[in-house]
Structure 1
Amino acid sequence: MHLIISDVMPALCPFLTLVCLPVIILLVLLYVFREVLGSCPPCRSNKRLDGKTVIITGGNAGIGKETAIDLARRGARVILGCRSAERAQEAVRDIIAKTGNSKVVFYILDLADLDSVRQFAATVLEKESRLHILINNAGIGKAAVLIPGSTTKQGFDLTFGTNYLGPFLLTYLLLDLLRSSAPSQIINVSSHMHWFCFRQLNFNSETKNGVRYPYLTGYEISKLGNVLHARELAKRLQNTGVRANSLHPGMVETEIWTPLKKKYPAWMYNFLMSIIRMFGLNSTEGAQTTIYVSVDEGAEEYNGRYFAKCTLSKENRLALDDSTCALLWDHSMKMCDLK
Structure 2
Amino acid sequence: MMIFLWIVFTFVLLVLTFKYYFGTTRWCKSTVKLNGKTVLITGGNLGIGKATAIDLANRGARVIIASRNKEKAIQTIKEIYDKTGNDNVRFMYLDLMDLEVVRQCVEQFLKEEKRLDILINNSGIAGWAYKTIGLKTKQNYDLIFGVNHLGHFLLTYLLLDLLKKTPDSRVINVSSLRHLWRRSPLRYDRGPNKDGILYPDLAGYDTSKLANVMHSKMLSNILQGSPGCSCPVMVNSVHPGLAATDILMAPLKSVLPDTLYSIVDPFFRFISLDSTGGAQTTIFAAVDESLNSVTGKHFGHCRLAWENKLAQDDEACQQLWDYSMKMCGLT
User: What's the TM-score, normalizing by structure 1?
Assistant: 0.91
Deviations 1:83-129 (A, max 9, x none): 11111111111111211111100101111111221111111111101
1:225 and 2:211 aligned: yes
* Matched AA of 2:270: M
Q: Would you say the 8 A contact 2:168–2:292 is kept in 1? A: no
In structure 2, what is the Cα distance between the partners aligned to 1:303 and 1:115?
Answer: 29
Which residue of the partner structure matches residue 171 of structure 2? 186
| Unaligned residue ranges in structure 1 (runs of 5+) | 1-11
- Match status 1:92 vs 2:51: no
Give the corresponding residue for 2:246. 255
On the 8 A contact 1:252/1:276 being kept in 2, the answer is no
Task: Rate the CA distance shift 1:122–1:148 in 2: closer, same or farther, 3 A.
Answer: closer
Among 158, 163, 167, the residue aligned to 2:152: 167
How far is the alpha carbon of 1:319 from its aligned partner?
0.8
CA displacement at 1:63 relative to structure 2: 1.0
Q: CA deviation at 1:20?
A: 5.8
Aligned residue in 1 for 2:296: 304
The counterpart of 1:150, out of the listed 114, 117, 135, is 135
Alignment of 1:13-32 (within 5 A): 16=3, 19=4, 23=8, 26-32=11-17
**1:260 Cα deviation from its structure 2 partner:** 3.4
Alpha-carbon distance, 1:28 to partner = 4.2
Question: Aligned letter for 1:280?
Answer: S
1:186 counterpart SS class: strand
Match of 1:336 in 2: 328
Equivalent residue, structure 2, for 1:323: 315
Residue 80 (1) aligns with residue 65 (2) = yes
In 2, Cα distance between the equivalents of 1:28 and 1:203? Answer: 43
What SS does the aligned partner of 1:44 have?
A: coil
Counterpart CA distance in 2 for 1:191 and 1:303 is: 18
Does the residue aligned with 1:212 lie in a helix, a strand or coil? coil
Alignment pair present for 1:38 and 2:23: yes
* Closer, same or farther: CA 20–189 of 1 in aligned 2, 3 Å: same
User: What residue is the counterpart of 1:8 in the other structure?
Assistant: none
C-alpha spacing 1:264/1:113, structure 2 compared with 1 (3 Å): farther
Deviates more, 1:295-304 or 1:54-63: 295-304
Task: Report if the CA contact (8 A) 1:288-1:310 is conserved.
Answer: yes
Structure 1 residues 113 and 271, CA, compared in 2 at 3 Å: closer, same or farther? farther
Shift of 1:25: 5.0
Q: Higher Cα Rg: structure 1 or 2?
A: 1
2:278 corresponds, among 279, 286, 295, to: 286
Counterpart amino acid of residue 322 in structure 1: D
Deviation at 1:313, TM superposition (A): 0.9
1:211 and 1:28, CA in 2 relative to 1: closer, same or farther beyond 3 A? farther
Closer/same/farther in 2, CA of residues 335 and 245 from structure 1, 3 Å limit = same
Aligned residue in 2 for 1:264? 256
In the alignment, residue 220 of structure 2 is paired with which amino acid?
A
Shift of 1:270: 3.5
Partner SS for 2:26: coil
Letter in 2 for 1:249: P
Asked whether the equivalents of residues 202 and 215 of structure 1 are also in contact (C-alpha less than 8 Å), the reply is yes
Is 1:144–1:259's contact at 8 Å kept on the other side of the alignment? no
Q: Contact 2:126–2:205 (CA<8 Å) still a contact in 1? A: yes
1:240 is matched with which residue? 231
Q: Are residues 148 and 292 of structure 1, via their aligned partners in 2, closer, same or farther at CA, if it must alter by over 3 Å?
A: closer
Deviation at 1:203, TM superposition (A): 1.4
CA distance in 2, matches of 1:163, 1:22: 41
Alpha-carbon distance between aligned partners in 1 of 2:292 and 2:9, rounded to the nearest angstrom: 42
Change (3 A) 1:322 1:59: same
Distance in 1 (CA, whole Å) between partners of 2:108 and 2:329 is: 20
| Aligned mates of 1:154, 1:23 — CA distance in 2 | 52
Distance in 1 between residues matched to 2:286 and 2:150, nearest whole Å? 22
Counterpart Cα distance in 1 of 2:134 and 2:68: 22
Matched, 1:216 2:207: no
Counting aligned pairs with the same residue, the percent is 47
Distance (Å, rounded) in 2 between the aligned partners of 1:267 and 1:193: 29
Cα distance between partner residues in 2 of 1:51 and 1:147: 39
Q: What is the DSSP-based 3-state SS (H/G/I as helix, E as strand, rest coil) of the residue aligned with 1:78?
A: strand
Over 3 Å counting, the alpha-carbon distance change for 1:93 and 1:328 in structure 2 is same
Structure 2 unmatched runs, 5+ = 225-229
